[in-house]
Chain A
Amino acid sequence: DARVTQTPRHKVTEMGQEVTMRCQPILGHNTVFWYRQTMMQGLELLAYFRNRAPLDDSGMPKDRFSAEMPDATLATLKIQPSEPRDSAVYFCASGLGPVGDTQYFGPGTRLTVL
């Protein structure tokens, strides 16, 4: 049963600390998406990759967030320095492409910044 995996599932940290979230897309999927879910904003796209190349990161605060795909089996989202307003659930999703293909979501990382 292929699925997207994310680690850690929960993270509590203090303001100013670096946070790294990891995602393993479904094997063979060539598009990877990072979404953030908050009560106020709902679900919103932060960034996405196709064939490991970043295609859209317009939803991401560039001064503190960075997203990378070191290889086809790993995507990372880093926040440095973290702030209380970054507290949210961060989802990774992957898809086969092309346009319109279904995105399959991981279980999410619940981040709390104190």
Chain B
Amino acid sequence: AQTVTQSQPEMSVQEAETVTLSCTYDTSESDYYLFWYKQPPSRQMILVIRQEAYKQQNATENRFSVNFQKAAKSFSLKISDSQLGDAAMYFCAYRSGEGAQKLVFGQGTRLTINP
């Protein structure tokens, strides 16, 4: 079974600085998808960014980018120019490219932005 590990329960960063959240996963599959979701205090799960395993190019969405290292099974999220609104729980998630379509989530990283 696939597992996702987020080793940083909490992180903090100064406003306008850059922060990187770590995620590793374990799978024997070659075809899969990876996601980062943000959960602010409102509890809403918001998609931040997604990465297809077959793509070598790292995904980017405005201030958010990932460092996808397939061989190392690592999928970190970099937030540039941190803003107060980025404060939230961040979840890394894995989805198989075949068969089961469920998302397997990590335990989350709570990100605090210091003004």
User: A residues touching B (Cβ–Cβ < 8 Å)?
Assistant: 31, 33, 35, 42-45, 48, 50, 55-56, 59, 89, 91, 93, 95, 97, 99-100, 102-105, 107-108, 110
Contact = CB atoms under 8 A, between A and B. Distances in A.
Nearest to A42: B107
B95 interface: yes
Interface residues of B, number: 25
Contacts of A31: 101
Contact of A108 (B43, B47, B106): B43
A31 B102 CA distance: 11
Given A42-B108, A102-B35, A56 B43 contact: no
B43 A110 contact: yes
Given A43-B91, A100-B33, A102-B50, A89 B97 contact: no
A48 B102 contact: yes
A103 B102 CA distance: 9
Contacts of A104: 47
Nearest to B98: A99
25 contacts: A33-B101, A33-B102, A35-B103, A42-B105, A45-B102, A45-B103, A48-B101, A48-B102, A50-B101, A56-B100, A91-B45, A95-B101, A99-B95, A99-B99, A99-B101, A100-B52, A100-B97, A102-B47, A103-B47, A104-B47, A105-B37, A107-B42, A107-B44, A108-B43, A108-B45
Interface in B19-48: 33, 35, 37, 42-47
